[in-house]
A = this chain, B = another copy of it.
């Protein structure tokens, strides 16, 4: 799709000339993701005609890949019959995803034109809490009876498979829909055709499933750990209610990571793309933490005020404040980031805390020593002042780095312990805290050695 510009030109030309069948032919040769991208990029007024040109099975797939605004726009413009056909072709999880984002009047219209059965399901899906397995699952899965033979199972897949989100892992249930096992399509193909599904399925310890209310991040961890293509979702009675496929898991991983990035930068997490978010909304996401951190700067100010006479006596002391605060903040940010990421991907666990602290003590001692020595050289070359001041700055830096590393590795773990997101304990928060501690150490040392 490097030639999307070229394609767009071709398509615009066909639209202008009204060559509908040539347009349809061109479009149906493309991947649905690319068709969606093209619809996003053409003139707004051309979107509906182009969308209508598509065969209906393709148009439902394309619709799922459109951005929410475009989806809402198209739904507003198509007629009732078209809407019903579209909803009929779409996977339920795509419909739910779309409904979760669009304005209420669009939701009402869509629900009014869904089949009664589908409406009931959609309403149930919309009720699942946003971050749980139920909200991202789909019900289009292959269910097999344990009493089927492999040949019967394949026959069932042949008959119903085209409407399923994936057929590559099938799920085996009893009459009451209790999940009993899973079976990869490959196993069905490879085994003797008279073997029973119940005999070849993966069950007991090999069967991996999640609950509708499990956090979607936990589901992602399971799919990653076991390299699954899909995972079955069960209710509290172990009845199969849906599946989650790996492509949705990839999206979950991306969204959760973005949320971590936002929290680490002291931003209120937002589901919307930056470019599509309004200026006031963006400001609103940023101001709370900036305010809190600014106000806590009062304490740092008080510390500085308390050492007024000391500071006015040694200008090099004041001049080194920014560098010291910066270094301790950077040192703290390095380790807190490592901890947050390590906790997120499961490389570090709560029980590792003391190992981490012991390790950081040693790493900090090395870092502090190197930086302290380098600082004496730096000040000797570039700064005014006497050797005793250089010494105080370096000593303060040594201790500040040690405190920074200890706090930087402790706070994320502490957050996890009290069930807060470790990502909150990142850069800005830690820097502000370290500003206070670093200056207190600094001035205390200065008082001892210089006065």
Contact = CB atoms under 8 A, between A and B. Distances in A.
A253 B246 CA distance: 13
A338 B262 contact: yes
Q: How many copies does the complex hold?
A: 2
B154 A286 contact: no
Q: Which of A205, A371, A432 is packed against the most chain B CB atoms within 10 Å?
A: A205
A247 B227 contact: yes
Q: Which of A167, A265, A266, A427 is packed against the most chain B CB atoms within 10 Å?
A: A265
A330 to B, nearest CB: 4
Interface in A362-411: 362-363, 366-367, 370-371, 374-375, 378, 382-384, 397, 401
B355 A282 contact: no
B205 A31 contact: yes
B253 A250 contact: yes
Interface stretch (A81-89, A113-121, A271-279): A271-279
B274 A327 contact: no
A316 B311 CA distance: 12
Contact of A352 (B275, B329, B435): B275
A298 B266 contact: no
Q: Give the interface size bracket for A toward B.
A: 35 or more
Q: By DSSP majority rule, is chain A's interface helix, strand, loop, or mixed?
A: helix
A345 interface: yes
Given A29-B206, A261-B341, A321-B304, A363 B326 contact: no
A333 B301 CA distance: 22
Q: Rank and list the top 3 A-B pairs by shortest CB-CB distance, nearest first.
A: A297-B323, A265-B337, A301-B319
Interface of A: 29-31, 33-34, 154, 157-158, 161-162, 167-168, 185-186, 189-190, 204-206, 208, 223-227, 229, 246-247, 249-251, 253-254, 257-258, 261-262, 264-267, 273-275, 279-280, 282-283, 286-287, 289-291, 293-295, 297-298, 300-302, 304-305, 308, 311-312, 315-316, 318-323, 325-327, 329-331, 333-334, 336-342, 345, 347-348, 352, 355-356, 359, 362-363, 366-367, 370-371, 374-375, 378, 382-384, 397, 401, 427-428, 431-432, 435, 439
Given A267-B337, A280-B366, A312-B312, 20 more contacts: A29-B205, A154-B189, A167-B189, A224-B251, A262-B337, A265-B333, A265-B336, A274-B347, A275-B342, A279-B362, A282-B363, A286-B367, A289-B334, A293-B326, A293-B330, A302-B382, A304-B315, A305-B316, A322-B439, A325-B325
